[in-house]
A and B are shown apart, each in its own frame.
Chain A
Amino acid sequence: MSDGPLIVQSDKTLLLEVDHPQSKECRAAIAPFAELERSPEHVHTYRVTPLALWNARAAGHDAEQVVDALVRYSRYPVPHALLVDIADTMDRYGRLTLANDPVHGLTLTSTDRAVLEEVVRSKRVAPMLGARLDADSVAVHPSERGRLKQALLKIGWPAEDLAGYVDGQAHPIELAQDDWHLRDYQQEAVDGFWAGGSGVVVLPCGAGKTLVGAAAMAEAKATTLILVTNTVSGRQWKRELIARTSLTEEEIGEYSGERKEIRPVTIATYQVITTRRKGEYRHLDLFDAQDWGLIVYDEVHLLPAPIFRLTADLQSRRRLGLTATLVREDGREDDVFSLIGPKRYDAPWRDIEAQGYIAPAECVEVRVSLDDEERMTYAVAEPEERYRIAATAQSKLPVIRRVLDRHPDEQKLVIGAYLDQLDELGAALDAPVIQGSTTNKERERLFQAFRIGEIKTLVVSKVANFSIDLPEAAVAVQVSGTFGSRQEEAQRLGRVLRPKADGRQAHFYTVVSRDTLDSEYAAHRQRFLAEQGYAYTIVDAADLAGPGEVNGPDWVDEPAD
């Protein structure tokens, strides 16, 4: 019996014991064909899905390597049937190939006539195919390339896409690595993406996804369309690109509600693209406005459905998805994979933290007991009102204040979902509030003031969930959220994970009302963080010690002198 770090389960999940001496090499061996599903403290869970196996095939791994990795590192004998199944699944890839025929254009060709017959007869696939060229190939309309690949994937005969990518209009872009260098994992992510052609890179917030995007652009050296969640984040991209690449202000355009610039590198918001007038998408032309060589999707887990459909038409262009978490509350991860491309790189958050690239974070859940009046209100409330009542309870206020008092010298964010509550908090804490209705100009001003330390505390609504770079924020206090949304939790944590100048620890507090829906949702969200390796500490509000007291924050938290 070997003593490997891996346990292979019947449902094709792989359990990797992290503390095992071989765990690092084992992780490297299984990463190409298994999705990292959970990475809590001791045992990480990977899942071997058909999609992951096919991606592995696409990346040049064969079944033998997969089987060998499983057998070599497995602690217990691996059922033969499972290995056979894996080999069979991988064998399905590549029976069909999509390629450019000099005469007929895009064609679907098969080495296995029976498979082609099955595919041609499939109700789902048949409408996307053109004329039958001969016994082994069939014509495909170029615009159906994405949808066809998606449909073939669903019926279990993934096509190997050899049709390649258009280079797009060339545009010189270089990384300006004068006083900084691409980190190893960022370089690996870019290499992984570029070798695969298209795909998604998963990195934790604060780990420098923008730089991965910039490096990919430098690799493509072509006009680039960058899709972002909102204007503020778009401007952040612009700043980063100017600072880190050879691009100048004039080369980067903003395509948003306020401005409609199309330049060699154009940053557009999801919102403006999906804006409809009289039932029509008005800004779809953007995709054809330039011969884009690369399309970057920031926060790809938020990609709205209409863009999915558009993306299907863009299969001949290189696509890079960036995200901190591929968890989609709508469960459409598969669509992301099939339309943007497979996951090309991911790493457990804790690994990157251990390398010092993101700040170590302490997660604390503070439990507040509601007073009797609030409990009564909660008890008699309508079901749909209950969460709001629990989340915005007045009893939270003193606790929030005490939490903030623990960190007098830090930059602090208070994050909530209910505007009334935020306004109230802003007044009580004497801190500015940023919410949906705050103008971009005002936002920029406040963020800037926060960055330079003029403002110590900011109260923000969910507009700040995404893509706001506030490197100095070291403390986040979450007071209410969008029900049990896991990715919201991840994004909010991401706000404080940017590495601090002096390597300080970050703090992430969640203030919840005890024994209510609030704490149930909190538990749901936290499970996600726990799966990412962040252990929560739970404290009662009454036990929350101030600075310097017993159980209070350590001296480590204080700025180093």
Chain B
Amino acid sequence: MSPDQPATLAAWLRTRTDEQLGALLVARPDVARPAPSDVVGLATRLAVPVSVDRALDELDAATLQVLDAVLLSPTDGVPRTELPGLLPDVPAEAVDAAVETLSTRALLWGDEELHAPEPVRRAVRYPAGLGRRAVDLRVQLPHDLPAALADLAPDERTVLDRLAGERPVGHLPDGTSGSLSPARRLLQAGLLARIDAINVELPREIGLALRGDRPLGPPRLRPEPELSRRDPAVVDRQAAGAALELLSRVVDVLTALEEEPAGLLRSGGLGVRDQKRLAKELRIGEADVAFLVEVAHAAGLLDVGGAHRDEWLPTRSYDAWREQDLADRWATLAWGWLTSVRLLSLVGQRDVAGKAVNVLSPDVVRQTAPVLRRSALSVLAEFPAGSGLAAPELVSLLRWRTPRRADRLAPVPDLLAEAERLGIAVGGVLGRGGRGLLTGGEDDAADGMRGLLPEPVDHVLAQPDLSLIAPGPLVADLAGTLGVVADVESSGGATVYRVSDGSIRRALDAGWSATDLHDFFARSSRTPVPQALEYLIDDVARQHGRLRVGAIECYVRSDDHGLVSQVLSDRRTANAELRRLAPGVLVSGLPPEEVLSVLRAAGYAPAGESAGGAVLTRPQAPPRAAGRRPGATAGPVGPRPLAPGDVGATVREIRAGDAALAARRAEPVRQVPGVTTASTLELLSRAVRENLPVWLGYVDAQGSGSQRVVQPVSLAGGFLQGFDEGRGESRTFAVHRITSVALVEAEDATG
């Protein structure tokens, strides 16, 4: 080691520029919070095993292989120039890039000679897929290893070759039969080490011997998966088709749940019986129901509600959602899915007890789900429009990108399939909406999808066979009304409604009059209303008798028809919003109390009427769950990324702390926090008086300690005013938070 090279990680960190330190903090944000007080503190944080694991988890296979090369080198410290020689098959740029990545993250340190910090060594259990050393495994290797290996039976050699591949650990087969399995023979020969009851490990020396001149195994270059290419316009159209389908299905499911809510299981979730019922009602598969319900829930459109909080109901946001245009509605669903912590693919699978997991069950919550979804789909977003990856290629690329997280990739094919059903991707290629979703979020997603989805139509085509065809997605209020006066026969791009005597009766039940219906059909049908439909309305209305049940709040009635007419034409009662229902009966959409008070104010003497002889009808609002607030869905996921300002501030803080440490000459006055000692105050007031910089040990309100060099300005009321030189700002320090004080000589503080 050349003498001018730093000897420790901390020393090396000190030689790094502010930009490099900043990059370190950005790459490993977990060490930046709370801000480490100085470089030594930073080095300590960097050694925390969790932090190291997290940093390693994010590295791709090529970078890890370079790290393995350093870890496997017999000496600590590999000269930078020798590294390409260890990896003959890897292009020099790739090695440089990997070293850069590792140095940036402080997983390797040193400039001319690369060192791996001890925690990193510990975190990589099997460098380059090689086992531990024979000594560590307490195995006595044969004296002549090459000869011993050459003598092996073919089946034994197969076992060893396999263990010399990616993973040096293997299961021992059940050995109840008489003859010894090859693995057991190897165990006896001392070529394998037993690490527990069923697992064996291949000692590193044997692995290296088997690998020959490629001790690090084959080069792990970035795989070049075969791209799926599609016409972007076709992708967009197909994605929009899926989106349209999804939107209409979600409405179908939620409408069904509005009419008959599903019960909340005691274990949480939605029962199989309700799932089957929905599937039957909507004529879709049970798995489809599960998917739609989960998506609606993730988007906050469905939640637990009801009087006893024991039912799954559409939420209030559902009402608002229905008013939005289609692209926004879609973006809400897609964003809800992307950020959901529920792993949808687990629904319906059997748990260890053999019980299928219910829809909406809390058992499928996986905090890693949003990260996984995003990382998988972000890979697709890196390709230009019109190209992407099919599931197997995507998985293999992800496996290369984060080999240490390969075990988490199992749900990726399912995630991709879900993304296709949502209209985010088609055949592994992102659509415009999906790209917007990943790069910009909800609003960009809506913008991407806008224009691909049809404009809502505000009319239907009435046909003589009593069907009404809505030739596209309907505007919300027309859809709502049609849901009352007709039954949906088929949905999709368009909706086919069927008017039957049953549906007309339902409309009449809901307070419509025959005239209202005639008006409604005449208004909303672009084709002439067929005579059969008009007759149907009249027939059913006549069958309905002379009883009319309307959605009103109250009525006014009198045997004196003249009086009733007078009330109706009285200008002072206009506020009561009365209308005549029949001679002698007026109705109002206002509550009885209001109508009573209006009538009283107008000088009439009305009396409220109770259930005596007539029923007061109060239409109930459809039940709604309170729901979650949008945005409250996704909990904190991983460390919050550092803003550029934060990074600079933290680096300055570390530097300041370091400067303070280096500048520290005079014995600081130690102070127990909260106890103001006379010497501290004396030192501080002297510094104020003589305008001398001091170094302060300070604990901020968040409890993180720091050391700073401060030019004091004033000391009053338990607060020290001063200019923090390291951070370049004026601020106030509470004296009781100062843990130590020492005077600084001017040239040291600034130098």
Contacts and interface: CB of A to CB of B under 8 A. Distances in A.
Given A11-B490, A41-B463, A45-B496, 19 more contacts: A7-B493, A10-B492, A13-B496, A15-B469, A15-B494, A38-B467, A41-B527, A42-B527, A43-B461, A43-B463, A74-B493, A76-B241, A77-B237, A79-B238, A79-B241, A80-B426, A515-B542, A535-B532, A536-B464
Contact of B420 (A9, A78, A81): A81
Interface of B: 236-245, 248-249, 283, 420-421, 426-427, 451-454, 461, 463-467, 469, 471-472, 490-494, 496, 527, 530-532, 535-536, 539, 542-543
B241 A9 contact: no
A527 interface: yes
24 contacts: A1-B451, A7-B492, A8-B493, A9-B492, A11-B492, A41-B527, A75-B471, A76-B240, A76-B241, A76-B493, A77-B240, A78-B238, A78-B241, A80-B238, A81-B245, A83-B238, A519-B539, A523-B532, A523-B536, A530-B463, A530-B464, A530-B530, A531-B465, A535-B532
A38 B241 contact: no
Nearest to B530: A535
A549 B324 CA distance: 55
A428 B323 CA distance: 64
A35 interface: no
A449 interface: no
A519 B451 CA distance: 48
B493 A9 contact: yes
A79 B245 contact: yes
B474 to A, nearest CB: 13
Contacts of A80: 238-239, 241-242, 420, 426-427
Contact of B496 (A15, A74, A534): A15
A42 B462 CA distance: 8
Interface of A: 1, 7-11, 13, 15, 17, 38, 40-43, 45, 71, 74-83, 515, 519, 523, 526-527, 530-531, 534-538
A2 B245 CA distance: 18
A538 B245 contact: no
Nearest to A43: B469
B530 A17 contact: no
A538 B531 CA distance: 7
Given A7-B492, A531-B465, A76 B454 contact: yes
Contact of B241 (A41, A77, A526, A534): A77
Given A79-B244, A80-B238, A81-B245, A9 B535 contact: no
A38 B464 CA distance: 11
Which of A17, A38, A81, A534 is the most central at the interface, judged by chain B CB atoms within 10 Å of its CB? A81
A18 B452 CA distance: 25
B513 to A, nearest CB: 19
Nearest to B472: A76
A526 B283 contact: no
A41 B471 CA distance: 15
Contacts of B283: 11
A40 B452 CA distance: 30
B420 A17 contact: no
A76 to B, nearest CB: 4
A98 to B, nearest CB: 32
Given A535-B530, A538-B535, A40 B467 contact: yes
B242 A9 contact: no
A74 B491 CA distance: 15
B250 to A, nearest CB: 12
B331 to A, nearest CB: 16
A535 B534 CA distance: 13
B491 A9 contact: yes
A442 B153 CA distance: 101
Given A7-B471, A538-B532, A77 B465 contact: no
A417 B378 CA distance: 71
B244 A76 contact: yes
A496 B454 CA distance: 45
Contact of B494 (A7, A38, A519): A7
A81 B451 CA distance: 21
B464 A10 contact: no
Given A10-B249, A80-B238, A530 B532 contact: yes
Contacts of A526: 532
A7 B240 CA distance: 14
Contacts of B427: 80
Nearest to B463: A40
A205 B496 CA distance: 29
Contacts of B243: 77
Nearest to A363: B464
Nearest to A42: B461
A40 B241 contact: no
B241 to A, nearest CB: 3
A79 B466 contact: no
A515 B454 contact: no
A291 B530 CA distance: 54
A10 B530 contact: no
Contacts of A515: 539, 542-543
Nearest to B461: A42
A15 B495 CA distance: 10
A523 B532 CA distance: 9
Contacts of B491: 9-11
